[in-house]
Amino acid sequence: MSTATAGTEQASEFDRGIAVAARPGAASVYDAELDGGWRIGGGINGGLLLALVGNALRAELGRDGGHADPFSISAYYLSAARSGPAEVRTETVRRGRSVSTGAATLLQTAEDGTAVERLRALASYGDLAAAEGDVRTSATPPEMPPPDQCIGTEHAPPAFLSQADLLRRLDLRLDPACVGWALGEPSGNGRIQGWLRLADGRQPDPLMLLLAVDVLPPVTFDLGLPGWTPTLELTAHVRARPVPGWLRVTHSTRNLAGGFLEEDAEVWDESGRLVAQSRQLAAVPRGAGSAGAAEGSGR
Amino acid sequence: MSTATAGTEQASEFDRGIAVAARPGAASVYDAELDGGWRIGGGINGGLLLALVGNALRAELGRDGGHADPFSISAYYLSAARSGPAEVRTETVRRGRSVSTGAATLLQTAEDGTAVERLRALASYGDLAAAEGDVRTSATPPEMPPPDQCIGTEHAPPAFLSQADLLRRLDLRLDPACVGWALGEPSGNGRIQGWLRLADGRQPDPLMLLLAVDVLPPVTFDLGLPGWTPTLELTAHVRARPVPGWLRVTHSTRNLAGGFLEEDAEVWDESGRLVAQSRQLAAVPRGAGSAGAAEGSGR
């Protein structure tokens, strides 16, 4: 099998977007093709890249009856990824009984022929089906109107849509309480939330959750700070396999300071289970109090 | 300079604990000595290891006018560290204008002479003094009684103290509302908080914050789950230089499920600023619904 994605899902845009092929003769190296349809702003969306690298690590750590589900993945974004060929070099750091740890780097070739690193990642993989035990989640699912009473992204400002090709691949319905920014009236609460599914009907799974944690508009929009928020670091924890259907995704921040902000995401499935959590450190948009660290990820 | 720690701080237990010495003739390799005084449970405390690796990365990324302050560091814990010699192999992944990215691995030599990896880390470093801009922190500092009305760890159960040598190096005063577990009456809230400073008077700085995020009793104690909670992954964001004095540290969890929990820490300095945030994914203690993934960090 040269492609690590399950054959039955090949038709979906998402599965094509994260497909990797083991390079013949090069152990632990996977080839991929970044599709400009996942572009936002100046680069390919950081959540898609996370899922792509997560898919390569799934192939690497899942070999020979290993561990195929991401439990935790941390990505450090180094430069904006472009459409075109890419490679993922992976390393098995440790194979454990119930958890294995891997490392990965995503590279592209620059016009001058040199390899440019897009992101570096570490991850722990296991078997979510074996992750049994109490569920004592004290977090509560977000309250928002049903999808048909939320705001589809087709209503987003044209200037935003033109920069966000990936929105066409999502069915994203934002809570009306969180879209004041699109009308020039941000709430200032630092919270954006909505319903999410893939536009082509592909159901959520652990890899799709890695996209879900970084695909909503940045929470800075709700703080009245337009512009891109390049991600320095993002860590996602996948805590359960989602059931089919809609996801509810929340983004919030508690600490915008010194030119950076932390942004927390929670992803809830249709059964009401908290299936993923993430936190990222991102740069505040330039011109809005940024330290100018923006060397970003195409968030 | 063969030692990366500032000379004026050499006398402190913490600075000795995280001291690294560049190995002559081996670029980017640093030698260290793990001191059993930082032991908790079966290994050296994970926060101390994070600060040690953070110190090596400070030496590596801070060279030649580079970036010396941790902004974000993610550690994947692989096996319990023991007292004795250790080495940190570092790599400069990318030097940027305002942020540089590094990787590190902490190794020790097993009895059979093989190298055993204790943790693998990625990190972004910058200059906290240059991280200016708005402070719009919406998180609020924890409310708790003043230190002299909190509970010193000398009152902890003897069975706990005997496993936690590092407590002697801390001046840790827990909020009385969070210590019911020590009397067999855990609150069930999933929250532990207290005042923290180093026992020898060494003042907090960015590296000491890396210790602070992982040195309180695990939040599982407050949920009535005794035992160790081995860390799989911990990511800390250092957001500002702390002023001298006490730190307030909170640990909380929102999602204990399937044998794992996320634990969030916040560290506030005496000026009332949120100076660090962290999140870790840890295994629920064995016998308490764990998936048995405990291959841990000496938390």
Structural domain boundaries in chain B: 7-130, 147-283
Asked whether the beta carbons of residue A292 and residue B98 sit closer than 8 angstroms, the reply is: yes
- A46 CA to chain B: closest CA distance, Å? 17
Which residue out of A67, A69, A72, A78 would a mutagenesis test of the B interface target, given it has the greatest number of B Cβ atoms within 10 Å? A72
Of A74, A76, A259, the CB nearest to B132: A259
Measure the CA angle with vertex A299, ends B257 and A61; round to 5°. 50
Please name the residues in contact with A273: beta carbons below 8 A apart, sequence gap of 6 or more.
Answer: A135, A137, A240, A242, A243, B257
- A169 CA to chain B: closest CA distance, Å? 30
Is residue A293 less than 8 Å (CB to CB) from chain B? yes
Q: How many whole angstroms separate alpha carbon B97 and alpha carbon B127?
A: 11
Asked whether the beta carbons of residue A239 and residue B258 sit closer than 8 angstroms, the reply is: yes
Q: What fold does the segment set B7-130 form as a domain?
A: Porin (2.40.160)
At A166, is the secondary structure helix, strand, or coil? helix
Asked whether the beta carbons of residue B98 and residue A132 sit closer than 8 angstroms, the reply is: no
Q: What are the structure tokens assigned to B153, written together?
A: 């760890």
Q: What local confidence, expressed as pLDDT, does residue B287 receive?
A: 62
Q: What fold does the segment set B147-283 form as a domain?
A: Porin (2.40.160)
Q: How many whole angstroms separate alpha carbon A296 and alpha carbon A111?
A: 19
- CB contacts of A131 in chain B (<8 Å) are 258-260, 291
CA neighbor of A280 nearest in space, from A46, A104, A106:
A46
**Are B281 and A237 spatial neighbours (Cβ–Cβ below 8 Å)?**
yes
Confirm whether A7-130 and A147-283 share one CATH topology. yes
Q: Which tens digits make up the pLDDT trace of A77-92? A: 999 999 999 999 999 9
**Are A94 and A101 spatial neighbours (Cβ–Cβ below 8 Å)?**
yes
Task: Report residue A216 CA to chain centroid gap.
Answer: 9
Q: Tell me the pairing of strands B21-22 and A43-44.
A: unpaired
**Are A2 and A25 spatial neighbours (Cβ–Cβ below 8 Å)?**
no
Q: What local confidence, expressed as pLDDT, does residue A162 receive?
A: 83
- A11 CA to chain B: closest CA distance, Å? 32
Asked whether the beta carbons of residue B257 and residue A279 sit closer than 8 angstroms, the reply is: no
CA neighbor of A125 nearest in space, from A279, A243, A237:
A237
Is residue A103 less than 8 Å (CB to CB) from chain B? yes
Of B99, B121, B233, the CB nearest to A235: B233
Asked whether the beta carbons of residue A120 and residue B93 sit closer than 8 angstroms, the reply is: yes
Which chain B residues in 189-228 lie under 8 Å from chain A, judged by CB atoms?
190, 223
10 Å Cβ neighbour count for B243?
A: 15
At A108, is the secondary structure helix, strand, or coil? strand
Please name the residues in contact with B230: beta carbons below 8 A apart, sequence gap of 6 or more.
Answer: B77, B282, B283, B293, B294, B295, B296, B297, B299
Is residue B295 less than 8 Å (CB to CB) from chain A? yes
Q: Would you call B62 exposed, middle or buried from its count of C-beta atoms within 10 A (0-12, 13-18, 19+)?
A: middle
Place of tokens 């891109």: A228
Asked whether the beta carbons of residue A138 and residue B290 sit closer than 8 angstroms, the reply is: no
- CB contacts of B133 in chain A (<8 Å) are 257-259, 284, 289-291
DSSP annotation of A141: P
Measure the CA angle with vertex A182, ends A181 and A186; round to 5°. 10
Is residue B116 less than 8 Å (CB to CB) from chain A? no
- B61 CA to chain A: closest CA distance, Å? 15
Q: If you measure CA to CA, which chain B residue comes closest to A120? A: B122
- Bridge-partner residues for A124, per DSSP? A72, A101
Asked whether the beta carbons of residue A279 and residue B279 sit closer than 8 angstroms, the reply is: yes
At B153, is the secondary structure helix, strand, or coil? helix
Burial A222-237 (b: 16+ CB within 10 A, else e): bbebbbbbbbbbbbbb
Is residue A254 less than 8 Å (CB to CB) from chain B? yes
- CB contacts of B140 in chain A (<8 Å) are none
- B260 CA to chain A: closest CA distance, Å? 8
Is residue B289 less than 8 Å (CB to CB) from chain A? yes
Which chain A residues in 227-246 lie under 8 Å from chain B, judged by CB atoms?
232-233, 235, 237, 239-240
**Are A51 and A38 spatial neighbours (Cβ–Cβ below 8 Å)?**
no
Of B101, B120, B239, the CB nearest to A93: B120
Of B79, B133, B288, the CB nearest to A258: B133
**Are A240 and A275 spatial neighbours (Cβ–Cβ below 8 Å)?**
yes
Helices (H), A203-276: 206-212
Compute φ and ψ for A278, nearest 5 degrees. -145, 160
- B179 CA to chain A: closest CA distance, Å? 20
- CB contacts of B240 in chain A (<8 Å) are 257-258
Of B132, B258, B284, the CB nearest to A258: B132
**Are B102 and B112 spatial neighbours (Cβ–Cβ below 8 Å)?**
no
Which chain B residues in 50-69 lie under 8 Å from chain A, judged by CB atoms?
none
CA neighbor of B230 nearest in space, from B283, B289, B273, B188:
B283
| Mean pLDDT split into 10-residue runs, chain B, 299 residues | 45 94 97 96 94 98 96 98 98 96 97 96 96 86 96 82 89 94 90 96 98 95 89 98 98 95 97 97 73 38
Type of residue at A138: S
Helices (H), B219-277: none
**Are A45 and A38 spatial neighbours (Cβ–Cβ below 8 Å)?**
yes
**Number of alpha carbons in the 13 Å side-chain half-sphere of residue A271:** 9
- B11 CA to chain A: closest CA distance, Å? 32
From first to last of the 299 residues of chain A, give the pLDDT tens digit: 344 444 454 579 999 999 999 999 999 999 999 999 999 988 999 999 999 999 999 999 999 999 999 999 999 999 999 999 999 999 999 999 999 999 999 999 999 999 999 999 999 999 999 877 788 899 999 999 999 999 998 887 787 788 888 999 999 999 999 999 888 899 999 999 999 999 999 999 999 999 999 999 999 999 999 888 999 999 999 999 999 999 999 999 999 999 999 999 999 999 999 999 999 999 998 765 433 333 444 33
CA neighbor of A51 nearest in space, from A219, A198, A271:
A198
Q: Give just the sign of the alpha carbon dihedral A261, A195, A150, A172.
A: positive
Q: What local confidence, expressed as pLDDT, does residue B5 receive?
A: 45
Q: What are the structure tokens assigned to A191, written together?
A: 């919270």
Q: What local confidence, expressed as pLDDT, does residue A10 receive?
A: 54
Of B97, B126, B232, the CB nearest to A124: B232
Q: What are the structure tokens assigned to B207, written together?
A: 């590296």
